[in-house]
């Protein structure tokens, strides 16, 4: 079992008892512990560096209030800075538009996009009584279209059929038209997964975005990617004007460092967390809970 950050800092900072201020030299060891804790939680190295620099800037010169040890004072700064990066509170979906509110899903293959479309459809239906239509623009894998159809059935959402002979932009336009004519509140668009960052595929989803102009463009990313999440996030954020992130597979062993990395490089709010394979395995993302999970 790893000690939590408070215990780790208490250990390295006990020699500092009685010091009235945090200084560059008296927090050096402690910052090394923070750095290690973040790396153990799978936060990407460049993100760790930026984060530590920000903590240092905030901490140096900070007064250690009477009842606190310097270690506790530094933990306070770390938590404050983490909350600042992760966002103060959950940010929900923006559906405030003339219906249908179109939501485009983007991410690598296997990230959990199709499952998450089902989860979101169920969430919107159960909690907000929305009438939801889903469509797959994955014209490369017939199995992906079939998978979405199954998931839609489980979620109680309507499925707009598509085939691998169609063009993604045409499919999406037809689905938007159908949703308008049948008074759907929300249209969820699933897209082809990219196994790795692929220029042509990125171009395709950028064109899809330009044609459809969704109100939400959500980047779905697997928390188990760990440090690699940062490069994927950068590529999608450069290709598309993302409005939010959904971090999946947080029910696994991932410590959640990907959350900090993705937030840091995209600046976009994490809106939901995937916490299981079932359609009920979706939770609104809570930054402060994730901060505690990352800090241990
Ligand atoms: P896609 O290729 O991005 O559409 O990914 P899928 O939706 O097909 O999901 C890939 C795999 O990840 C499937 O086996 C899903 O059951 C699984 N999966 C998706 N989200 C979660 C999650 O939050 N937790 C767990 N444990 N598995 C998930």
3-state class percentages of the chain: helix first, strand second, coil last, to nearest 5: 50, 15, 35
pLDDT tens per residue, range 172-207: 999 999 999 999 999 999 999 877 778 888 999 999
Cβ 65 vs Cβ 240: under 8 Å: no
Phi and psi at 187, nearest 5°, equal -120, 120
- For residue 281, the ligand 1 atom closest to its alpha carbon is 23
110 lines ligand 1 (CB under 6 A): yes
Which residues, 6 or more positions from 72, have their beta carbon under 8 angstroms from its beta carbon? 6, 9, 10
284 lines ligand 1 (CB under 6 A): no
pLDDT tens per residue, range 88-118: 889 999 998 999 999 999 999 999 999 999 9
226 lines ligand 1 (CB under 6 A): no
**Where residue 269 falls among pLDDT bands split at 50, 70, 90?**
very high
pTM of the model: 0.92
From 104, 106, 115, give the residue whose CB has the most ligand 1 atoms within 8 Å, as the site to mutate. 115
Give the Å distance between the CA of 79 and the centre of ligand 1: 31
ipTM for the complex shown: 0.99
* Cα 38 from Cα 256, distance rounded (Å): 10
From 107, 108, 109, 112, give the residue whose CB has the most ligand 1 atoms within 8 Å, as the site to mutate. 112
- For residue 119, the ligand 1 atom closest to its alpha carbon is 20
* Cα 114 from Cα 117, distance rounded (Å): 5
**Residue 267 has which token pair?**
């600046």
Residue nearest to atom 14 of ligand 1 (CA): 277
Q: What Å distances lie between residue 180 and 129, 131, 185, 211, CA to CA?
A: 17, 11, 9, 16
Q: Does 109 show up as a binding residue in the annotation? A: yes
Q: Does 30 show up as a binding residue in the annotation? A: no
Of the ranges 45-54, 74-83, 104-113, 216-225, which one carries the lowest mean pLDDT score?
Answer: 74-83
Q: Does 250 show up as a binding residue in the annotation? A: yes
251 lines ligand 1 (CB under 6 A): yes
Q: Does 14 show up as a binding residue in the annotation? A: no
Residue nearest to atom 20 of ligand 1 (CA): 112
**Residue 105 has which token pair?**
């899903």
Residue nearest to atom 13 of ligand 1 (CA): 112
Of the ranges 11-20, 88-97, 216-225, which one carries the lowest mean pLDDT score?
Answer: 11-20
Q: Does 69 show up as a binding residue in the annotation? A: no
249 lines ligand 1 (CB under 6 A): yes
């Amino acid at each position: 079992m790893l000690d939590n950050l408070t215990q780790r800092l208490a250990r390295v900072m006990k020699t500092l008892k009685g010091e009235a201020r945090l200084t560059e030299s008296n927090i050096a060891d402690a910052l090394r512990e923070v750095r290690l804790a973040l790396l153990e939680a799978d936060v990407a190295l460049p993100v760790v560096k930026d984060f530590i620099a920000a903590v240092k800037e905030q901490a140096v010169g900070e007064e250690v209030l009477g009842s606190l040890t310097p270690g506790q004072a530094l933990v306070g700064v770390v938590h404050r800075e983490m909350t600042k990066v992760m966002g103060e509170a959950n940010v929900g979906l923006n559906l405030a538009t003339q219906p249908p509110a179109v939501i485009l899903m983007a991410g690598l293959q296997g990230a959990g996009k199709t499952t998450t479309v089902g989860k979101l459809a169920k969430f919107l239906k159960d909690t907000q009584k929305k009438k939801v239509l889903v469509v797959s623009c994955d014209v490369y894998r017939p199995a992906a279209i079939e998978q979405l159809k199954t998931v839609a059935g489980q979620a109680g959402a309507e499925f707009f059929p598509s085939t691998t002979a169609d063009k993604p932009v045409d499919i999406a336009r037809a689905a938007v038209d159908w949703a308008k004519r049948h008074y759907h509140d929300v249209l969820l668009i699933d897209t082809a997964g990219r196994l790795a960052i692929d220029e042509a595929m990125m171009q395709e989803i950028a064109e899809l975005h330009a044609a459809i102009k969704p109100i939400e463009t959500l980047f779905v990313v697997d928390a188990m990617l760990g440090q690699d999440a940062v490069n994927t996030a950068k590529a999608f954020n450069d290709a598309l004007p993302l409005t939010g992130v959904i971090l999946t597979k947080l029910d696994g062993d991932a410590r959640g460092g990907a959350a900090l990395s993705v937030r840091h490089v995209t600046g976009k709010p994490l809106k939901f967390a995937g916490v299981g394979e079932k359609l009920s395995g979706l939770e609104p993302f809570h930054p402060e809970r994730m901060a505690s999970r990352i800090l241990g």
